[in-house]
A and B are shown apart, each in its own frame.
Chain A
């Protein structure tokens, strides 16, 4: 069997294993969905009128439109915390030592985690998106191509955060440490343009908020779904995604190749 065929076959076996875990124990994935859904409902139904007025909108629906793209990307950040936790738990299991002594494709364990996690992220985004639509979110005149681009962006963003989360999981000695290490993945959206525009933040903080990975992705998604100005955010978002994915990949591969303790 060629190296590529071996890699694909073993990785899909590992993917099946991870999806089986997710199906048997859905509580971790579902718990992680609670945060974005709660924040969505909180900001719409409790703070919605104030926030909407702050944006110069007539009613709550203006803020729903503003909020949903950010919450969708936050959902990805939240789901990948689960990735970090499950990778670190998996590494303490004897089965990983067994995999290392088998003549299988070396990277398949990690690829299985990554692909499984991206699929879970997409499923989570669809669920949270459905909640958004249920409370009144509508895209404005998005073409099929824009929908496709939006979907592509969400997948690419998941892939980038997932590789980073896998690295975080590999360096964490246990599940608690992994969930602490992965905390920035859910804190960063709070410091982005997800809830309030960057313009409304203190001047010294604006550059941080504007150029961190979440803001360009959120602005691009808004542009694609709502027709707002994308500008340089599109390229910034893609650059962040590719950069983080490559960084996370090499970090994770290097950590996984080390001798286990």
Chain B
């Protein structure tokens, strides 16, 4: 741990490959995570997000790749990597047979804290994660949200500089999810680097400094949420008509619009700004037509995600409305 991190990168991955038998899961993944930031790895189920976490947290060995975590080479010095990281997996890594407090003290012992220090840290973290009251109960009796909080509290006993969170909010109710987000934000404000996998786009948008989309064994795109949203042309105004005559005159007035003659819907490319909207409405007015419905659609991570991962949910029109 004494080795300085010359790169300023908490995680640097180049050419990561992993296959299980004939099945290639990761086929040359590259990614870098600067210290003190939240990096989110997005991807559909089965894309290999968990495999990336398992490899970077030394649980599973990679087939190939130049992998550095916390400045240490994963292949050469996994034990130094382990000393720098904390992992909270998709399924709670708590010992259900013993109490929450005993789980915490177990972690304190494994981090070689003194008895007194261990008790202090355990009590402090149990308090911070709202588990003090449940501390004497077996962890198997905890709710999903409580288990997840205990899981993170256990991870924090060793004060890791880099934390891997593999789908930390999967299966949690909305309140617990927001609680978890708050916890993650607090971690980063303390200078910790967070590597987060999630299947919730909203979560990545909410938390991450940088987002990478994992698809087909590689990184399909990487950037800030804003940068990613610019990749896909998703922004448009959707005009719905009930009167075919009105629909036709609107269509001829708005030549940039893509038409759906069946359902009498026009989609006009637009960034959704006030100025563009007014121009659009002016043109409709001068053509003397009135739409029965108007919705503004700004690009979100869903558009990016579906466009990059080839999901069927992308309406065909939005691909035609390239700006």
B82 touches A101 (CB 8 A): yes
B60 touches A259 (CB 8 A): yes
Alpha-carbon distance A104/B113, docked complex (angstroms): 13
CB of A84, distance to nearest CB on chain B (Å): 17
B92 touches A17 (CB 8 A): no
Which B residues are in CB contact (< 8 Å) with A10?
110
* Complex interface bits, A240-260 against B, C-beta within 8 A gives 1, otherwise 0: 000000000000000000011
B96 touches A93 (CB 8 A): yes
Q: Chain B, interface size: which category?
A: 20 to 34
A98 touches B87 (CB 8 A): yes
Q: Does B102 contact A (CB under 8 A)?
A: yes
State the interface size on chain A (CB cutoff 8 A): 23
A102 touches B109 (CB 8 A): no
Alpha-carbon distance A260/B138, docked complex (angstroms): 26
Q: Does A97 contact B (CB under 8 A)?
A: yes
Alpha-carbon distance A232/B98, docked complex (angstroms): 47
B60 touches A94 (CB 8 A): no
Residue from A1, A16, A17, A25 having most chain B Cβ neighbours under 10 A: A17
Which B residues are in CB contact (< 8 Å) with A17?
95, 98, 106
B98 touches A24 (CB 8 A): yes
A13 touches B57 (CB 8 A): no
Which A residues are in CB contact (< 8 Å) with B96?
93
Known contacts being A103-B79, A259-B61, is A98 close to B89, with CB within 8 Å? yes
Known contacts being A10-B110, A17-B106, A260-B60, is A97 close to B97, with CB within 8 Å? no
- Determine the main DSSP class of A at the interface with B: helix
Contact for A94 among B79, B89, B106, B109, CB less than 8 A = B89
Which A residues are in CB contact (< 8 Å) with B154?
98
Which B residues are in CB contact (< 8 Å) with A260?
59-60
A103 touches B109 (CB 8 A): no
Q: Does B158 contact A (CB under 8 A)?
A: yes
Known contacts being A94-B89, A97-B93, A104-B110, is A259 close to B59, with CB within 8 Å? yes
B95 touches A100 (CB 8 A): no
A13 touches B87 (CB 8 A): no
Alpha-carbon distance A21/B98, docked complex (angstroms): 7
B85 touches A101 (CB 8 A): yes
Which B residues are in CB contact (< 8 Å) with A133?
none
B59 touches A100 (CB 8 A): yes
Alpha-carbon distance A129/B119, docked complex (angstroms): 40
Q: Does A9 contact B (CB under 8 A)?
A: yes
Q: Does A20 contact B (CB under 8 A)?
A: yes
A97 touches B59 (CB 8 A): yes
A94 touches B94 (CB 8 A): yes
Q: Does B112 contact A (CB under 8 A)?
A: yes
Which B residues are in CB contact (< 8 Å) with A1?
112
Q: Does A95 contact B (CB under 8 A)?
A: yes
* Complex interface bits, B167-197 against A, C-beta within 8 A gives 1, otherwise 0: 0000000000000000000000000000000
Q: Other than the known A1-B112, A102-B111, A259-B60, what 5 A-B pairs have Cβ atoms closer than 8 Å?
A: A17-B106, A95-B95, A101-B87, A259-B61, A260-B59
